[in-house]
């Protein structure tokens, strides 16, 4: 199938998938007065992308993220005709719009006068370009608006790795200072391969075996070489915002970077928040690193590998341990066709495991650490997960948490899957995490990955900021949670003890069992009804439904520019303020103030909308 070029409508939909965006100053009252007095305005455009971007810029200013971006430098570029912040905003908007091709930028972004005006460019610059150097050599087919798109690609790819890290880390620090994260955070770490063609310079390669059966039933093994890089991200599980990242070659193991990521994230959050809990998968089974986290006061949950001695010990001890059972009731169908399905999960708690030889303090010459003196771990053994044997067999979660109640440990690890399903998958689909690199080399890949993660982090914080300001009744409805009952079973006597059911939690609330038991009395546990910026504020609302709502909210609005200011109005408001009689006004605008009493010429038979005039005249 041939390549299908994107349309402006598709770009608009991609932007709505990511958020709502601006660098001009919004002043509805000043623009309204100009319309009423007949002074005239510079331009009027339909709201489309500019309307979606308007609120985002307000958030950038309120959170001080924009001020941090203005300190960004591209030292490798000697002669720059624009400040570096302009390239940050342009490439950031490209990511948010989901523009696939660099060559499509003139048609889908750089020629959009409304969006470019919000970022700070003039209509003349958009129409005639920032410079006409080389104009004599251009043809009609190669002409462009504002700037050559390759200039943006070349410039952003020249940013150093150190400066890109500073851009990302500083933005997370601004969000922490703005109060986006909880005082004590639960995080997860995971990596994803970024596969590129072998021609991309600077990448690594990894061998991957794939076994399958052909039509004759013969088993065939293929060896495939993957080229590229690996992106490792530490994510806050309450907001789903990445807190730290590392870009390495694709064949690199992830475990050696665990401590570095945690320390960087702690630095980004300090002093407003700190990492308290960590969940990781088998890739991070590294005793020295996890012991170092234990010494830092971080509680962790990691799934054990089956060859580990600690795994065998936990399985053996679980044979005689008390069985914890949870029965969740899932409802299917509606009305008379409705039916329920019980989902049974069985786990056991095990304590005092000292068989992980590398989970210990650093070795000292001449001193041997005997088994009784090794640091102890606890474990939760999952023998049945929602009516099924876990994939790969019985699972053992090793942890330094108390396991008297095993369910916070089990559910905390279950939340870890959101880093792949909610972060990587969404950015691969909408942010094009693994495509559209500005340059086909390491610098281009690195710049693109950092910008995708950066824009996702800030866009998610913006959406949460908006949701947190809404009244509770204005929030999207939460997805229904599963009702559950809990009990304990004695493996020797078979005696069953029913346990009280804890308060229900939303199935869309990541890290829903926060706060876990904390030994830090200086940090007060948040109350259940605290309006923190959590992913649960979205109430299960997906990007498609959010896109439809945004489109509905902005479909009848226009953006009006005058100088460096702009205003956003309903189309009927614009007509009334300009003195044009409108016979059929939407009821949501209101009535009751005459046109003449507000200096607006128009029909005396129909008063202009009360809300339209009062919001500008005060």
pLDDT value, residue 199? 92
Task: Choose one of 113, 137, 159: the last residue of a domain.
Answer: 159
In a domain, 560, yes or no: no
In a domain, 563, yes or no: no
Assigned token pair, 321: 């341990």
Sign of the four-CA dihedral 568, 89, 260, 173: negative
Assigned token pair, 522: 């200086």
- State mean pLDDT over 278-290: 94
pLDDT value, residue 37? 85
Q: Same structural domain for residues 153 and 185?
A: no
Residues 455/431, Cβ–Cβ less than 8 Å: yes
pLDDT tens figures, 233-248: 999 988 889 999 999 9
Q: Same structural domain for residues 105 and 229?
A: no
Q: Same structural domain for residues 465 and 481?
A: no
pLDDT value, residue 383? 95
Q: Same structural domain for residues 461 and 491?
A: no
Q: Same structural domain for residues 380 and 486?
A: yes
Question: What share of the chain has pLDDT > 90, as a percent?
Answer: 37
Q: Same structural domain for residues 33 and 99?
A: yes
pLDDT value, residue 249? 96
pLDDT value, residue 616? 54
Number of domains in the chain: 4
pLDDT tens figures, 10-21: 555 454 444 333
pLDDT value, residue 104? 73
Q: Same structural domain for residues 14 and 134?
A: yes
Q: Same structural domain for residues 120 and 192?
A: no
Residues 512/505, Cβ–Cβ less than 8 Å: yes
| Dist. CA 609–CA 588, nearest whole Å | 9
Q: Same structural domain for residues 483 and 456?
A: no
| Pairwise pLDDT comparison (245 vs 46), residue with the higher score | 245
Q: Same structural domain for residues 152 and 189?
A: no
Task: Choose one of 457, 488, 523: the last residue of a domain.
Answer: 523
Assigned token pair, 170: 């500083």
Q: Same structural domain for residues 62 and 141?
A: yes
pLDDT tens figures, 480-507: 556 789 999 999 898 999 988 776 554 4
In a domain, 323, yes or no: yes
**Mean pLDDT over each residue of the chain, to the nearest integer:** 79
Q: Which of 223-227, 279-283, 421-425 has the lowest mean pLDDT?
A: 421-425
What phi and psi, each to the nearest 5 degrees, are found at residue 375?
Answer: -65, 140
Assigned token pair, 308: 């580990």
In a domain, 37, yes or no: yes
Q: Same structural domain for residues 516 and 601?
A: no
| Dist. CA 522–CA 518, nearest whole Å | 10
pLDDT tens figures, 20-41: 333 567 788 888 888 888 888 8
In a domain, 528, yes or no: no
Task: Choose one of 136, 159, 182: the last residue of a domain.
Answer: 159
pLDDT value, residue 7? 62
In a domain, 446, yes or no: yes
In a domain, 2, yes or no: no
In a domain, 140, yes or no: yes
pLDDT tens figures, 134-170: 555 555 555 556 777 888 889 999 999 999 999 999 9
Domain that holds residue 62: 8-159
């Amino acid at each position: 199938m041939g390549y299908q070029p994107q349309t402006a409508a598709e770009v608009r939909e991609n932007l709505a998938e990511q958020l709502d965006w601006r660098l001009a100053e919004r002043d509805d009252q000043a623009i309204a007065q100009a319309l009423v007095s007949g002074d005239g305005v510079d331009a009027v455009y339909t709201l489309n992308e500019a309307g979606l971007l308007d609120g985002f810029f307000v958030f950038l200013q309120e959170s001080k993220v924009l001020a941090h971006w203005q300190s960004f430098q591209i030292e490798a570029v000697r002669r720059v005709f624009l400040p570096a912040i302009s390239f940050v905003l342009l490439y950031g908007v490209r990511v948010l719009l989901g523009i696939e091709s660099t060559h499509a930028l003139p048609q889908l972004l750089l020629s959009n006068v409304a969006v470019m005006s919000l970022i700070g460019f003039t209509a003349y610059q958009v129409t005639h370009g920032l410079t006409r150097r080389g104009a004599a050599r251009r043809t009609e087919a190669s002409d462009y608006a504002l700037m050559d798109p390759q200039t943006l690609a070349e410039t952003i790819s020249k940013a150093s790795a150190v400066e890109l890290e500073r851009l990302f880390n500083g933005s997370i620090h601004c969000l922490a200072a703005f109060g986006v994260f909880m005082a004590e955070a639960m995080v997860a770490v995971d990596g994803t391969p970024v596969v590129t063609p072998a021609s991309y310079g600077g990448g690594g390669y990894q061998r991957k075996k794939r076994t399958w059966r052909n039509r004759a039933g013969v088993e065939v093994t293929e060896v495939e070489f993957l080229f590229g890089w690996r992106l490792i991200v530490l994510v806050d599980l309450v907001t789903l915002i990445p807190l730290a990242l590392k870009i390495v070659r694709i064949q690199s193991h992830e475990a050696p970077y665990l401590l570095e990521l945690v320390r960087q994230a702690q630095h980004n959050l300090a002093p407003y928040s700190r990492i308290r809990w960590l969940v990781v998968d088998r890739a991070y089974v590294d005793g020295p690193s996890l012991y170092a986290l234990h010494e830092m006061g971080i509680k962790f949950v990691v799934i054990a590998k089956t060859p580990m001695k600690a795994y065998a010990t936990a399985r053996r001890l679980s044979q005689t341990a008390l069985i914890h059972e949870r029965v969740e009731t899932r409802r299917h169908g509606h009305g008379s066709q409705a039916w329920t399905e019980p989902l049974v999960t069985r786990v056991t708690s095990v304590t005092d495991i000292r068989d992980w030889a590398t989970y210990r303090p650093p070795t000292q010459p001449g001193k041997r650490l005997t088994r009784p003196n090794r640091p102890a771990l606890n474990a939760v053994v999952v023998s049945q997960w929602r009516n099924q044997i876990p994939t790969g067999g019985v699972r053992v979660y090793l942890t330094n948490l108390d396991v008297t109640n095993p369910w916070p440990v089990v559910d905390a690890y279950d939340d870890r899957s959101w880093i792949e399903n909610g972060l990587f998958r969404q950015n691969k689909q909408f942010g094009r995490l693994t495509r559209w690199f500005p340059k086909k080399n390491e610098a281009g890949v690195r710049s693109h990955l950092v910008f995708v993660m950066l824009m996702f982090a800030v866009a998610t914080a913006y959406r949460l900021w908006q949701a947190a300001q809404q009244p509770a009744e204005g929030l999207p409805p939460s997805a229904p949670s599963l009702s559950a009952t809990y009990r304990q079973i004695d493996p020797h006597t078979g005696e069953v003890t029913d346990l009280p059911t804890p308060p229900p939690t939303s199935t869309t609330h990541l890290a829903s069992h926060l706060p876990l038991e904390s030994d830090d009395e200086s940090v007060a546990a948040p109350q259940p009804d605290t309006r923190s910026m959590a992913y649960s504020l979205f109430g299960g609302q997906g990007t498609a439904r959010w896109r439809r709502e945004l489109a509905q909210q902005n479909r009848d609005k226009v953006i009006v520019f005058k100088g460096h200011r702009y205003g956003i109005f309903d189309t009927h408001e614009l007509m009334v303020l300009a003195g044009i009689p409108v016979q059929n006004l939407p009821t949501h605008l209101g009535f009751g103030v005459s046109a003449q009493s507000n200096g607006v010429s128009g029909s005396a038979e129909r008063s202009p909308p009360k809300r339209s005039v009062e919001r500008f005249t005060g």
